[in-house]
Every structure is written in C-alpha cells, then in structure tokens.
Amino acid sequence: MQRRIYIYQFKLSSEIVDLFSNLGSFFSVEKFEDDILTIVDTDYFNPEPIDFDAIRELIIQDFSEDITIFIEPYLEEEFFLKENVDCFIKELNNGINYFEDIIAYTVVKGKEPLKKKISKYISDKVNSEVIHTVREFINNNMNSSSTSKKLFMHRNTLNYRIDNFIEITKINVKTFKGANAIYMLYHF
C-alpha cells in the first residue's frame, strides 16, 4: 500500500525540496514540476509515522514560509484523483489537506466535474444501501442507536456498514471532518 504526498508552494525553494527528498527510505520523489513536489510514501506499516504537521511547523519557523500539502489515503491501487491534483492544489489554503478536505473544497468552490467524479468513485466502490445507511447515520448526528432504530436495523449491522464504508472509501464518517464531507457532497 502506498500514497502520494503533494507539496505546493509558489516558487518552491530547493531547501524545502531537499527536506522532503530526504525523509527516509520509504519516501521517494516521483516528480517535481510547476512548483508541485510529488512524493511516494510506502511507509504504511510504520508504528511511528512521519508527522507532517511538525514538518510544516518547522518550515514556517525556519524558512518563514508556508506550504500546502495534500496527502492521499493509503491505497493498493492508484488514487482516482491523482490526475486532478494539479488543478486544485494551487487553490487550497496553506496547511495539510486530506481527502475529506478535498470533498468539502469541491462542494464549496462549485467544482461540479470533480464533485461528480468523487460521487461516482463512492457509488462504484460502495452499494447504495451502505451509502443510504451512512447518510442516515450522519443525519442522525452520528448516533448509532437512533439511526439503527430509524432504519429498523440491528446496531451491529449499522456499525458493520459504516465500518465497511470507511474501509473502502477511506473517508472516516465517525469524525466530524469525514461526516461533514459526505453531508456536503450529498446535500449541496
């Protein structure tokens, strides 16, 4: 399993490129063009993963500059938005962005083609019953008891479907950020 980490800064300095190029043996530079550095991370099983928040803070303190980072989820196949990252990373706020952040960004900015691509990705990966269950879970304030009663479903079945959704899509709807992303995707 691997993921890509995209680092963007207008006129990305060579010192920052060197910093990210030397993260360790599990990280390799895939490409560097248009002020975007792409790194492949195969460090999935590390119990102490690299803290990108700390690296960003170090860059802010040492270089008096800020960067934008987009981190894909770990996947066995290519991330479906890989070809679109160049289109949106330059518009993101500085900081660290994950898949959930991209969903919210897509909805807020009215990026319909990207929104349709994300919706299609989810519907291709997960059946409509699971999507309906997750949406009801979110609409019931992420309360498993009230959602299972409303759907006339055993609570274990509800939890299984939610966990299945999280595992397949890599969107954790048990967190506010993940739940908000899915809510925005299907309501706006």
- Whether residue 93 sits in one domain with residue 8: yes
What is the domain range of residue 142? 117-187
78 and 36 share a domain?
yes
* Domain count of the fold of the chain: 2
Per-residue pLDDT of 58-99, as tens digits, reads 999 999 999 999 999 999 999 999 999 998 999 999 999 999
Q: What is the pLDDT of residues 106-139, one digit of tens each?
A: 999 999 999 999 999 999 999 999 999 999 999 9
Which of 69, 115, 60 is CA-nearest to residue 92? 69
* 35/38 Cα distance (integer angstroms): 10
- Cα separation, 46 vs 68, whole angstroms: 24
Structure tokens at 152: 């006339």
Same domain, residue pair 14 and 91:
yes
